[in-house]
Amino acid sequence: MGHWGQSSLLSPALRLAVVTVILLLKLHPSLAGSPPETGLGGSVSAVSTNKSECSKAEQCSKGVMLPIWEPQNPSFGDKVARATVYFVALVYMFLGVSIIADRFMASIEVITSQEKEITIKKPNGETTTTTVRIWNETVSNLTLMALGSSAPEILLSVIEVIGHGFDAGTLGPSTIVGSAAFNMFVIIGICVYVVPDGETRKVKHLRVFFVTATWSIFAYIWLYLILCVISPGVVQVWEGLLTFLFFPICVVFAWVADRRLLFYKYVYKRYRTGKQRGMIIETEGDRPLPSKVDIEMDGKMLNSHGVDFLDGPLGLDLDEKDLDEEETRRDMAKILKELKQKHPDKEVEQLIELANYQVLSQQQKSRAFYRCQATRLMTGAGNILKKHAADQARKAVSMHEVRSDAGDNDPISKIFFEPGSYQCLENCGTVAVNVVRRGGDLGKTISVEYRTEDGTANAGSDYEFTEGVVVFKPSETMKEIRVGIIDDDIFEEDENFLIHLSNVKVLISEGEEPEESESANHVDSVACLGLPSTATVTIFDDDHAGIFTFEEPVCHVSESVGVMEVKVLRTSGARGVVMLPYKTVEGTARGNGEDFEDTHGILEFQNDEIFKTVNVKIIDDEEYEKNKTFYLEIGEPRLVESNDTKGQEGQEQQKEEEEEEEALTGKDEEERRIAEMGRPMLGDHVKLEIIIEESYEFKNTVDKLIKKTNLALLVGTNSWRDQFIEAITVSAGEDDDDEECGEEKLPSCFDYVMHFLTVFWKVLFAFVPPTDYWNGWACFVVSICMIGLLTAVIGDLACHFGCTVGLKDSVTAVVFVALGTSVPDTFASKVAAIQDQYADASIGNVTGSNAVNVFLGIGVAWSIAAIYHQSKGEEFKVDPGTLAFSVTLFTIFAFISVATLMYRRRPEIGGELGGPRTAKALTTMLFVSLWLLYILFSSLEAYCHIQGF
């Protein structure tokens, strides 16, 4: 950030120095030596600048929108005041263009983000649904994205020609060439340097970059040809139209390179689904995949060979899709783990916000998004990604914390057991069962009947039959039912019985029932039975030592549980003290603190104690879809000898049973089984399989994070209300990745200053239709009209400023106008270079924009003017001198810059952007030097201090 600040301060100083040199040379021609001789032949010299034209003072003339400031020959003090007013107004208009361009780029992001679902049928008949973008990325970058980035320059050129009676102007074409120079040299130079030390960024779509770079250089070579070679000084209709037609041709060439439709069609390729949102990605392969894949789109079945929008045979390897999704989940899980370790004291909301912001930062973004983000950071509108991450975190936490209190808020009272199952020893005397009332009007008096029912236990021998009525008085929410348990000395298996609720009534007062008609009509709307309406009571026998077992053979546990409690049951008896050994055994899960802590020991069951718990510590290493197992085993139970009589009798009884074991062989098998159960023994589940699974909350969070966010939702708006609220709100604009998320950030002084400077434009352009209307097209049309209006004013202000201070339009365009229109792109490319893992978004679109500037900005303007003049029987004349020289100079420097970028792909550096500090510094110095030389030589040529064309 410090280097960027230094470069941003250095650049105005250098520009001021250049302008000062130009003014001195203009005021003192003798400093430059002898003027240049006329060259390029008679036809060229007729329209070239000569000595008298170079030394002629720039005359102010009426603009397209603004009149001349009278009087035309003011004093020196008035000139300074006028120049200050023009300059401040020019800067303020640049701010306005940046604001409306932000709305324009948001509409383009919404338009190009439109998606369509397709259904893919596999050879085995199974179908899967995936999503594809309607707009091809390369086509959108070269059409709408480039138009959005270069709209001010393009419209300035067109408006200048139309506004000046279809005569050639200097400001528009010079701005286009100057903007191209700034983009190619300064923006790329900054992008090279701002990448963190040791990191590199490569162009991913190298074929497309080569095509657009070639076309961008060819565009300026073509300008030189039509100005100085084919028809010097005259632009014919076919030249203007061909210049414009090069735009769709360039788009088609780039699309062909992207889709590999020419020589690439002989290279086997295949498609795979991307990591996020099922986006289809094409990859080269070693063999063709089966072509029997059908795609259903808009209800129509298309064979893979006929799918034009996918441009080739489609073979979806679903195994690769699964692998990609699993890799993405692992990445997201790793992010969460690292954030938890780095910020152990942060709340869940803050951690989710940090993770969400990191995921959004790593997500691939379009040029339009970076442009919107840069503009909003500059104007105090806040960081788009951090605001969205904070909103999503708040929503996630609020959804997690909101619990359905339907029971308490239900208008109907529900009567049910809580809990629905109970256990007791047969010597407990009585068992208490809870009946509760939830919801409804607690001021009502409600009654409910209950009745016991035999299960495996029998009324009269195992428990006392019970029935009756429970009455809930006003404000009472819990009642208790007691059932007597009968104890005996006969060994029995565990038994159970049921208690049923029935016949809910609403009483007028205690003991009085409403009339039959009222009861029939209103009881169901006031009170009813809830679930569970039947309680199960299990009676554990306490006459013998018991059977020891786990509840289930398999147990699932979340890795985030910390310490899990495993219950060991003692059934079919609870008499005596029994020692039960236990231990953990590794499976796919490892002990020693890797997945769980090894545990072993002995459980001591006291007399009448029917369960014990074993604590096992589970290690939370936050794996997605974790599925590891280990085991908890219990050994043979041992009855502890006691000195009391009861213990001796129990031991003697056990010996007698052992001596009589052979005698029991002749008895009934069922009696023999019951007799054996009198001793402590193991049950059916002595080895518990414990399956460690991922934390549900962790998995849910990861699932939400891997869902790719449609970035159009971040920059777009869905209502005028949102736009006006955003327009008057100041937000923190700090874009430092190391800045802590999860805490409220206050706007800085810079944010407040920029907000108050731009609040007029923000409120004004809040009237532009939201991007949700007509899928963004309404915002697109209105925004481009607003940009055209502001651009017309900027053109007039720039001309008046130049003539006031004595600068030619070509110099004003190159030094001031081109810089003002390129500042948002500079910030956008800088952010893209830091955040994006590839260089395409930061420098890949620069070459495309430079080509589009010429083909649209100059092609459209000159075509209109040439057609108009031909209809009048005249020629459309363009002075080739200054423009041709600037174009030639830019072309030479552009070759040097592209060659430098290609050299940086060598292993010593590793990529177009970044690399070792020395290499970064040298590259940036070279690129900035090329831009300064371009400015200097173009300006000197404009004043005839060096030989031009």
What does DSSP say about strands 300-303 and 294-297: parallel, antiparallel, or unpaired? antiparallel
Residue 657 banded pLDDT, cuts 50, 70, 90: low
pLDDT tens-digit readout, 578-606: 888 999 998 888 888 888 888 888 888 88
Distance CA 578, CA 606 (A): 7
Q: Which two tokens stand for residue 511?
A: 């003991």
Percent of the chain with pLDDT over 90: 13
Q: Find the mean pLDDT for residues 763-789.
A: 90
Residue (of 635, 673, 671, 677) closest to 654 by Cα position: 677
Residue 543 banded pLDDT, cuts 50, 70, 90: low
Distance CA 735, CA 370 (A): 12
Residue (of 716, 714, 752) closest to 733 by Cα position: 752
Distance CA 765, CA 103 (A): 8
Sequence-ordered list of residues with C-beta below 8 angstroms from that of 14, at least 6 positions apart, any chain: 932
Q: For the chain, how many helices (H) and strands (E)?
A: 29, 27
Most confident option among 55-64, 404-413, 488-497, 865-874? 865-874
In the prediction, which pLDDT does 348 show? 61
pLDDT reading at 876 higher than 80: yes
pLDDT tens-digit readout, 268-287: 344 444 444 444 334 433 33
Give the lowest-confidence range in 391-395, 481-485, 718-722.
391-395
pLDDT reading at 367 higher than 60: yes
In the prediction, which pLDDT does 284 show? 38
Give the lowest-confidence range in 12-26, 337-351, 363-377, 686-700.
12-26
What's the whole-number average pLDDT of the chain? 75
In the prediction, which pLDDT does 397 show? 52
Residue 510 banded pLDDT, cuts 50, 70, 90: low
> 833 versus 664: which is more confidently predicted?
833
Residue 389 banded pLDDT, cuts 50, 70, 90: low
pLDDT reading at 361 higher than 90: no
What secondary structure letter does DSSP report for 877?
B
Q: Find the mean pLDDT for residues 396-415.
A: 56
In the prediction, which pLDDT does 636 show? 87
Question: Residues 441, 526: contact at Cβ < 8 Å?
Answer: yes
pLDDT tens-digit readout, 638-656: 877 654 444 444 555 555 5
pLDDT tens-digit readout, 19-49: 444 443 443 343 333 343 333 333 333 333 3
pLDDT tens-digit readout, 718-741: 788 888 988 888 877 654 444 444
pLDDT tens-digit readout, 440-463: 777 888 889 999 988 888 888 888
In the prediction, which pLDDT does 310 show? 38
Distance CA 935, CA 12 (A): 13
Burial status of residue 566 (CB atoms within 10 A of its CB: 0-12, 13-18, 19 or more):
buried
Other CB atoms within 10 Å distance of the CB of residue 696: 10
Q: Which two tokens stand for residue 125?
A: 């008949």
In the prediction, which pLDDT does 790 show? 92
